[in-house]
Chains A and B, each alone.
Chain A
């Protein structure tokens, strides 16, 4: 027992294979083995949302998923958000609205907000706040983040398919 598992998966549209121990979280494998360090480790127990990723169109915390569980799944991480043409509207609006200070929570907020807009392109402020309740920021106080998400939603509704929505 305890041999390494061979996992085949798709990350940001790219097929990938890796070996992992069953006890390794998806977060650990993304950061330490696959070099995808955009996904951050905050609390490592499912409270802070810094490690938010999207698996088969469902927003989850990568610290609360074993890497062996993603066999055959499609995973979206922050590295998949911007396109070669430029930043995703969410990233642009986060910059314009000063929605980040230290930046550790930012990838998680962006991935969570992308999942929201994929699911609901026209959210109310209440819906944005409810959706992002699982993401903690200890710097900005949330208002600027909520404002950026609402503005990015407007941009998304004006254009057709937003950039980076390959997942």
Chain B
């Protein structure tokens, strides 16, 4: 690996100044589970590596039922799933956090880094989209907020301009009678990259019979993670039924434009979008009704 200058600023303004002012390539380091591998393999180069783990704003993990959830860009997965209040309020996040790499990777890997890395198959992004999460971005011109679905622009590319830094993700507060679920297909139990991933969040009426609203996010079926906006909108005001779920799953399938690669042929991925969207919606509906849906750590039924 080429050598670089290691920078560990302690304030956000210092970090932005370094990012904006440095000559050469500055790479941002959070958990490093993608960056260190990419630098070692020579896929990326760096003159400077800027560690954001000393910035208080990037380490914040704050939840209040009325305010929602703020996940600093340097907060690793294990902090999210080990927080009982967050795990109860946002179980869909835990579905994703518990399957990104193994425990060792979850000790370092962050949702912020997963998003900035902008892999089409990133496990955290569909569920962030489903939850309606926003990115908080700091830059030389001040802060801006961008919806997660608008953040990735191509494989490995995102909207950050020179000098900008992803500081945190913000998820809106959880509505009554709502639930969310993320799942992916892989041909083994653990430690793999999604062939297809689907995340859904739903809000039901008080009786749990009608959809108030729904949002669906998809992974590994396009150059970027997708927001299946129309598929979710089709459910608003509809009865919870096999027919309405099938309609939404078909709408999600219709926007998928997967490629064929070593993990799966495109037509198989297309098929999986429908299957997984349906299952993500069913899991979200069950959780909205207060039923137990296990994540990867929990055994079925407990």
Co-assembled chains A and B: yes
Q: Which of A25-48 contact B (CB under 8 A)?
A: 25, 44-47
Which residues from A are CB-within-8-Å of B299? Answer: 124, 126
Which residues from B are CB-within-8-Å of A58? Answer: 76, 78, 107-108
CB B188 to nearest CB in A, in angstroms, measures 9
Q: Contact check: which of B2, B41, B102 meets A49 at CB < 8 Å? A: B102
- In the bound complex, what is the Cα–Cα distance between A23 and B297 (angstroms)? 34
B191 adjacent to A133 (CB under 8 Å) = yes
**Nearest CB in chain B to that of A62: its residue:** B104
Q: Which of B145-180 contact A (CB under 8 A)?
A: none
A134 adjacent to B103 (CB under 8 Å) = yes
* Interface stretch (choices A65-73, A81-89, A90-98): A65-73
Q: Is the interface of A mostly helix, strand, loop or mixed?
A: mixed
Q: Does B36 contact A (CB under 8 A)?
A: yes
- In the bound complex, what is the Cα–Cα distance between A146 and B299 (angstroms)? 16
B33 adjacent to A64 (CB under 8 Å) = yes
Q: Interface size (A, Cβ < 8 Å)?
A: 36
Q: Contact check: which of B3, B53, B191, B296 meets A23 at CB < 8 Å? A: B3
- In the bound complex, what is the Cα–Cα distance between A21 and B20 (angstroms)? 24
Contact with B along A103-132 (1 / 0, CB 8 A): 000000000100110000000101100111
A-B contact pairs, 21 of them (CB 8 A): A1-B4, A22-B4, A23-B39, A46-B33, A46-B105, A47-B191, A49-B102, A55-B107, A58-B76, A60-B107, A60-B108, A61-B105, A64-B104, A66-B29, A115-B103, A126-B299, A130-B103, A130-B190, A132-B102, A134-B102, A134-B104
Q: A22-B3, A46-B36, A130-B297 are in contact. List 20 more A-B contacts (CB 8 A).
A: A5-B6, A21-B3, A22-B5, A23-B39, A25-B36, A46-B105, A55-B107, A59-B107, A60-B107, A64-B33, A65-B108, A66-B49, A112-B103, A112-B104, A124-B299, A127-B297, A133-B102, A133-B103, A133-B190, A134-B104
Measuring CB to CB, which residues of chain B are less than 8 angstroms from any residue of chain A?
1-6, 29, 31-33, 36-37, 39-41, 47, 49, 51, 53, 76, 78, 101-105, 107-108, 189-191, 296-297, 299
